[in-house]
Amino acid sequence: MANRPYQPKDRFFKQAKASGLRARSAFKIDEIARRFRIFEKGQTVLDLGAAPGGFLQILLDEVGPKGLVIGVDLAPIRPLNRPNVKTAVADVLDPGFDALLTSLHPGAFDVVVSDLAPKTTGIKDTDEARSLALAGKALEVSLLRGRAGGHFVAKLFMGRDFEAFRGEVRQAYAEVKVVRPEATRGASMEIYLVGLSRKR
């Protein structure tokens, strides 16, 4: 089946604009939320790769006013004017990232979500390796800071090391699902791994 052509202003773009969402990608986490019921009111959620804030908008609605969402990205995130969100500009691969994250929220996270993506080079192996490194860091954070019974969502590019990474997630979570949300661009290599119910 041929890939769908790239349409910069497809229906998801138009729907996001009409709904006041900052990015069409918001529909990806919304679909995952509806399919797997991983978010609840009052949760604390970490959003890695959060700019421009589309995921944050959905997550804040999911956790409600008594929940807390932490968003981190290399790019500044325009204020969302909600009292229960904190954002920071940071590189997740920087040696000081873990300390920064602790300063933002010292406790555990119910769900760790990663929409991290590398700057692509067009070289397939390079882009896949960089994507995997970011997903690996997100998994590390989830294992260090995630709550038992909590969940994990990470974007990565499908490649030759995908199965090995899925195996790592399976070791830590009771179920692992592979999801390609409807809002994903037609030619994109990206998929999401959803780890359900952390074992310990």
Using DSSP's 3-state secondary structure scheme, residue 149 falls into strand
Q: Which residues are catalytic?
A: 155
Q: Which amino acid is at 28?
A: K
pLDDT in tens, 130-172: 999 999 999 999 999 999 999 999 999 988 899 999 999 999 9
Contact (Cβ atoms closer than 8 angstroms) between residue 151 and residue 197: yes
CA distance 194 to 93: 21
Tokens of 199: 């074992």
Predicted pLDDT of residue 6: 42
% of the chain beyond a pLDDT of 70:
88
196 has pLDDT over 80: yes
Reference 74, options 58, 54, 98, 51; nearest CA is 51
- Average pLDDT of every residue of the chain: 91
Q: How many helices (H) and strands (E) does the chain have?
A: 6, 7
Domains of the chain, each with CATH number or no CATH: 11-198 (3.40.50.150)
